[in-house]
Structure 1
Amino acid sequence: MIEILSATALATVQDFGRFGSLGQGVGTSGAMDHLALALGNLLLGNPEDAAAIEIPLFPFEVRLVQDCAFAVTGAACDATLDGQPLPPNWVYQGREGQVLSLGYPTSGSRAYLCLAGGVDVPSVLGSRSTQLRGEFGGLDGRALQQGDRLAALRPGVSAVPLDFGVVAPSLALPLQVDGVPAMRVLPAAEYERFQASSRAAFWRGEWKITTQSNRYGYRMEGEPLVPIAPMEIRSHGIVPGVIQVPHGGQPIIQMRDAQPSGGYPKFGSVIEADLWRLGQAPIGSNVRFIQCTYEEAVEALETNRRYLREVSRLVDVHREGAKA
């Protein structure tokens, strides 16, 4: 069990998300960086989709109320345990009374604190993820507050060897254009209904993630995307990753807490395999977009899976070596 010490954490409990309820108006929620969540869980021997704490604001501190193994992944945030530095993407055995502190990230924007067995909160509609708008899931459907306590599903001293780490996804799977973090995008239904100059500008230019961005959507700032003719579209189903263009021409990218329907024209969609990259891009930073095909999008998902399989292999090698 852990106790939240941070007064303004804005952290939430998240797993891979809530699926199968879009038709009832319930969005997916879930971790903004699925790879970081899966990585932390693999280090602990948890199911990849076990619930963890997603931390978007720093510094962040928790106290261990009882012995518990944990892993910190995602943003490189200068983690310390009782003042002793912990490397990034690391798994460790925590002891009762110790304080884990996460400092301001030097790269990335969201850290994940994974606990042995996963965070123990009720499952709602098949997921432990927090749905802030609907106020359900996670811990009472809200962001964590100072004094909150969360239990681990497998507390105590770990039965398997710990104290090791792996290479972060950002280093193992780099993707940049001219030194700027990039995400691959599939053109969507209304793509061809935008002016050719706007389509070219979207791929050519940098886009700033504005301060109006959050888990619901990222509002981007760049050269306006101009339609060939005004478009009026009925509300229709949307999912995380969809890039919609309001009348002002500045796109909005739907993120994990996106509502399940909307009526703005769809310019494209950030592929599922790259949503973690966008989730780790800091507010105020610039990103680039790369046009891709459906086949390339599917292959990108497989590349992510290969990375996680290699992590799983390295974890097994470490544990077998520690037993020898």
Structure 2
Amino acid sequence: MIEVLQPGPAAYVEDLGRPGLASLGVGRSGAADRGALVRANRLLGNPDDAAAIEVTLGGLHVRFHADHLVVLTGAPLPARLAGAPVSGDTVLRARPGDVLALGIPTAGLRTYVAVRGGVACPQVLGSRSWDALAELGPPPLREGDVLPVGAAEWPGPVADRLLPASSAPAGDYLAVDLLPGVRAEWFAPEAWGALLEGPYRVTPDSNRVALRLDGTVVPRSEQGEYVSEGLVRGAVQVPPSGAPVVFLADHPVTGGYPVVAVATAAGVDALAQLRPGDGVRFRRGE
């Protein structure tokens, strides 16, 4: 078992979400940085979709009540286990009574704390993920919460299946690949060029639902809304203001503003690590 001593600014249980339910009005949700979660699970020999703790801006303190193997991935931060400094992307051994204490990330926003066997809190509609938009799934962690840990299902770490380690944004601007959207008729001819020219900054009203960006206006040829249609993770929607909105893990299942582009899966993982004020530039992907 894992006891939460303090959750920090925000901490949630997340797996890879609940796909296939959009027709019922239920989004997938899941880890904001899927690559970081999968890497942690592969280091531990867990199934890729095992649940872990997604920690926003550090500050999580937990106590272990049994022997556990633990991994930290995602945003790098100072951390101590049983009082000794530990590193990310490394399998750690926790003993009964040991406390894991996370500081503030040196870069990035979200750190994942995974344990061999996965966090085994009850599933909601087939997933252990908290969906902030729908308020569905296990609620945000609070002081005193106790999380069960599942039985290990695989014989050990599978190093040849590892994903690259999460990379924190480098330099002034994160570069993200985009593919064209399906509503070109709603945009002025110069819209795509404006989007790629940028640059943009993440605004403070961003969250797990979406990143709201401030910067070069993406001009539309049509204003208002059309009949709502399905949205996907990574969709870049443009409201009448022309300020792009990039949808993340907890995006709504439908939207009525046109989508000018869609970020690649790796791009969305990287975007999920941006803090308010961080910069991003877009480039055309292939």
Q: TM-score, length-normalised on structure 2?
A: 0.91
1:227-246 map, 5 Å:
227-246=220-239
**Letter aligned with residue 221 of structure 2:** I
Q: Deviations over 1:201-233 (max 9, x none)?
A: 210121111110001111111111111243531
d(CA) in 2 for partners of 1:160 and 1:42? 9
Q: What's the counterpart of residue 191 of structure 1?
A: 184
Is 1:291–2:274 an aligned residue pair? no
Contact 1:119 1:152 in 2 (8 A): yes
Cα deviation, 1:10-46, whole Å, max 9, x if unaligned, reads 2111111111100000011100111110111111110
The 8 Å contact of residues 11 and 55 in structure 1, kept in 2 or not, is answered as yes
Flag the 1:167–1:187 CA change in 2: closer, same or farther, 3 A: closer
1:91-137 Cα distance to aligned partner (Å, 9 max, x none): 11101111111111112210000011100112222221112343332
Asked if 2 retains the 8 angstrom alpha-carbon contact of 1:36 and 1:112, the reply is yes
Counterpart-to-counterpart distance in 2, 1:99 and 1:166: 28
Q: What secondary structure, in the 3-state scheme, does the structure 1 residue paired with 2:108 have?
A: strand
Q: Which amino acid aligns with 1:62?
A: V
The change in CA–CA distance for 1:90 and 1:227 in structure 2 (over 3 A counts) is same
Contact 2:173 2:278 in 1 (8 A): no
Distance (Å, rounded) in 2 between the aligned partners of 1:119 and 1:250: 38
Aligned to 2:83: 83
Tell me which of 144, 148, 171 is aligned to 1:147: 144
Q: Determine helix, strand or coil for the equivalent of 2:91.
A: strand
Aligned equivalent of 2:45: 45
Separation in 2, partners of 1:184, 1:7: 33
Change (3 A) 1:4 1:96: same
What one-letter code is carried by the residue in structure 1 that aligns with 2:264?
Answer: I
Secondary structure of the structure 1 residue equivalent to 2:147: strand
Equivalent residue letter for 1:277: A
Distance 1:242 1:167 in 2: 24
Q: Is the partner of 1:120 in helix, strand or coil?
A: coil
Larger helix proportion, structure 1 or 2? 1
Indicate the residue corresponding to 2:58 in structure 1. 58
Q: Secondary structure at the match of 1:55?
A: strand
The residue that corresponds to 1:96 in the other structure is: 96
Name the amino acid aligned to 2:79: A
Structure 1 range deviating more: 113-122 or 8-17: 8-17
Partner of 1:249: 242
CA pair 200-133 structure 1, distance change in 2 beyond 3 A: closer
Amino acid at match of 1:51: A
Q: Secondary structure at the match of 2:271?
A: helix
Q: Deviations over 1:250-281 (max 9, x none)?
A: 11111111110110111111122321111112
Structure 1 residues 182 and 16, CA, compared in 2 at 3 Å: closer, same or farther?
Answer: same
Is 1:106 matched with 2:106? yes
1:56–1:109 contact (8 Å) kept in structure 2: yes
Q: From the superposition, tell whether residues 181 and 92 of structure 1 become closer, same or farther in structure 2 (CA, over 3 Å).
A: same
Q: Counterpart of 2:272?
A: 279
Matched residue type, 1:54: E
Counterpart residue identity of residue 235, structure 2:
V
In the TM superposition, residue 159 of structure 1 has moved relative to its aligned partner by 8.3
Q: Secondary structure of the equivalent of 2:6? A: coil
Question: Within 2, Cα distance between the matches of 1:134 and 1:200?
Answer: 35
Q: Secondary structure at the match of 1:219?
A: strand
Letter in 1 for 2:57: L
In structure 2, the partner of 1:266 is 259
Relative distance call for 1:187 and 1:248 in structure 2 (3 A) is same
Question: How many angstroms apart in 2 are the aligned matches of 1:188 and 1:42?
Answer: 33
CA contact (8 A) 2:186 2:258 kept: no
For residue 75 of structure 2, give the secondary structure of its aligned residue in structure 1.
strand
Q: TM-score, normalised by structure 1?
A: 0.81
Long gaps (5+) in structure 1 = 297-324
